[in-house]
Structure formats: C-alpha cells, structure tokens
Structure 1
C-alpha cells in the first residue's frame, strides 16, 4: 500500500535531486531537445497531409475547409513552438525564469489547441482512418512525454525563480566572501 508520507518524501527528493541521472537544468535542456525533435516530426507529418487537401467535389467543400484549417493551424502552432523552444534555450542560458515559465504555459496552451484541432477538425474529414489514428496516437504519446519532461522544466523554473527572488532582496543575497589570501614574496620564502 502506498504511504502518503513516503510518497511526499520521494517527490521532494525528485525535485531536489536527480532523476534518471539528470538534474533539473540538464533535464530542461533534454526536454527542449525532445520538443524540438517532436516539432520537426509533426511539421513533416503535417506537410505530408497536404496531399489530402484536394477538393473532390463541391459537396465536400466543408471537409476541404476543415482539413485546410487543421493542417494550417497545426503547422502554425508547430512553428510557434519552435519560437518557444528558442526562448526556453535562451532562458536556460541567461538563467531567466520568465522564459522557462513561458515555455510551460505555451506547452499547455499548445496541447489544448492541438486537442481542439483534433476533435473538431478531424471528425468527419477526408483523412483516411489510419491517418486519424496516427494523429491521435502521436498526440497521446506527446502528452504522456510532456508529463515526464515537465517535471524537469518546472523544477528548473522553481530554481531560477528562487535565484531571481534572492537577487532582488539584498538581505537574502548577502554572501560571505572568503578572506583574501596573502601571498608571500619570493624573498620571504627563501630559507
């Protein structure tokens, strides 16, 4: 049986230590690289879906419009995700928590938009059932992967926020400087 106290301790150790050999910063970098690869794959897949964007007849113009909105909307969100990934990498490099927090918000917004696109645009569209199934499978796998990688991004964002908060408050950021070392001159060292 799961003990709530041990679960809390494990979760605390997870955020304070390393998970799978990665600390929070390294995991955030890998999360950004993961999303970069997934975005490239999604962009390639959506560009391949343009072959289905041929109006078959005048009666299927609503299907054509839905497919067109789906493909163009997904490609637009994927391109904006590239921008969010660059912002994440800059935030890691400059140690700015706003960029990492913005990435978390963007991923949430992007996935909500993707599920809306999948639900409303692919309902009775002209895509084959295999393509629809592949779209849903890709979405579910990407969503499950986000749950794992967001642990690192959230932990790193919290670390960056604590650094930012301590930098703003001079009473918290007083560091003890080590005493200056006095080096002897060459003549004093001679025996």
Structure 2
C-alpha cells in the first residue's frame, strides 16, 4: 500500500518545462479557447469574402464537392470551432472532476479539428489574391498545430496518470473487499466449528 502511494506521488511530482501534467492540461484547454477565438476573428474576413461564382469562373473544372466546401468554408469553421469551445471547457471541468472521458474526447476532437482546418486551408488558400495573406494563414495554422502538439503531450500524460491511478484504486478496492469477505467467511467457519464441538461435548 505504501509503495503504491509513493510511486503515485513520484509520478505526480514529475515536471516538464517547469510544469506538471495537470497544469499543462489546464493550460492546453485555455490555449485552445484563445487560439480558436483568434482563428475565427482572422478567418472571418478571408473565408466570408470568397464568392462562389468568382471561384467557378476562375476554375471552371472545379469539383462540385470542393466548390461546396469552399463556399461553406466559414460556416464549417464556425461550427467546428463552436464544438471546440465546448470541448475545451469540458477538458477544464474534467481536470477538476477527474473525468477520464472528457480528456479522451478532447484528444480525439483536437486531431479531427485540426484535420478539418488543414483541408479547408488547402482548398481555400489558392483563391486568396494577396500573397502575404496566404503566408500569414499558413503561418497561423502551422503555429497552432505545433502548439497543440506541444500541449497534447501534457494532456495525454495526465490522462495516462489518471487512468493508472484509477486502475490501482480499483485493484486496491477489490483486494480489500476480497480480504474482508474471506475474513467474514473464516469467522463464520470458526463459529460453526466451535458450536459443533460444544454440541458434541
């Protein structure tokens, strides 16, 4: 029991870049909220300014599905960003309530969220008329993806620590119940033996 507690304590005290896994997970949620807000503000002007008719004139052989994604690009970004806000707050609550499910959902969703953003960036960036805007959009996307990978290390580490801690707790609880049940069984058995001996005498 003491060795398990000591091992768990040593894991919790590990730090990376001066931060614990728990603090890094909280900062990951905060970073996602701020980065998503800035992304929406920046992309609102560039994605909404795209005219579907102009795009079709520039590229007559464009695929219909690709054209629909480009025309609806900002609506798609706004929708997935809204879900990202909710999941980021869920991550912060999961750290407070020690919920594994919320952390796993955050990890999966951020991967999906950035994949969607990369697809939209590839499809829409070619139609930007200003070279500087295209460079800034790529710089912003790459910077955010790199930072998400950095913060994801803390989230995955803390999720693993929580899972390991809960697994050890379940094993200890099971062992206590088993030992308590066996103790009750031995006490009952000894009472029966004593009673039978007293009755035979």
**TM-score, normalised via structure 1 length:** 0.71
Query: What's the CA shift for 1:113?
Result: 1.5
Could you tell me how far 1:89 is from its partner in structure 2? 0.9
Matched ranges for 1:12-23 at <5 A: 17-23=14-20
| Larger helix fraction of residues | 2
CA shift in 2, pair 1:66/1:103, >3 Å: closer
Aligned-residue CA RMSD (Å)? 2.9
Give the CA deviation at 1:172: 6.0
Residue 74 of structure 1: how far off its partner (Å): 1.7
In the alignment, does 2:75 pair up with 1:78?
A: no
Give the structure with higher Rg (CA): 2
User: What is the aligned counterpart of 1:138 among 113, 137, 140?
Assistant: 140
Q: Distance in 2 between matches of 1:159 and 1:126?
A: 45
- Distance in 2, matches of 1:111 and 1:172, equals 44
User: Shift of the alpha carbon at 1:129?
Assistant: 2.5
Q: 1:106 aligns with which of 93, 106, 109?
A: 109
Aligned equivalents of 1:136, 1:172: Cα separation in 2: 55
Question: Map of 1:45-84 to 2, 5 A cutoff?
Answer: 45-50=42-47, 52-54=49-51, 59=57, 67-84=70-87
How many pairs were matched up?
Answer: 161
Q: Distance in 1 between matches of 2:170 and 2:11?
A: 27
Change (3 A) 1:15 1:163: closer
Change (3 A) 1:172 1:154: farther
* Partner residue, 1:181: none
Question: How far apart in 1 are the matches of 2:70 and 2:25?
Answer: 34
Gaps of 5+ in 1: 1-12, 175-191
| 1:90-114 deviation digits (Å, cap 9, x = unpaired) | 1101101111111111111111111
| Residues 142-161 of structure 1 mapped to structure 2, 5 A cutoff | 142-161=144-163
The residue that corresponds to 1:171 in the other structure is 174
Q: 1:54: Cα distance to partner?
A: 4.3
Deviation of 1:16 after TM superposition, in Å, equals 6.3
The 1:15/1:87 distance shift into structure 2, 3 A limit, reads same
> Deviation of residue 30 (structure 1)?
0.8
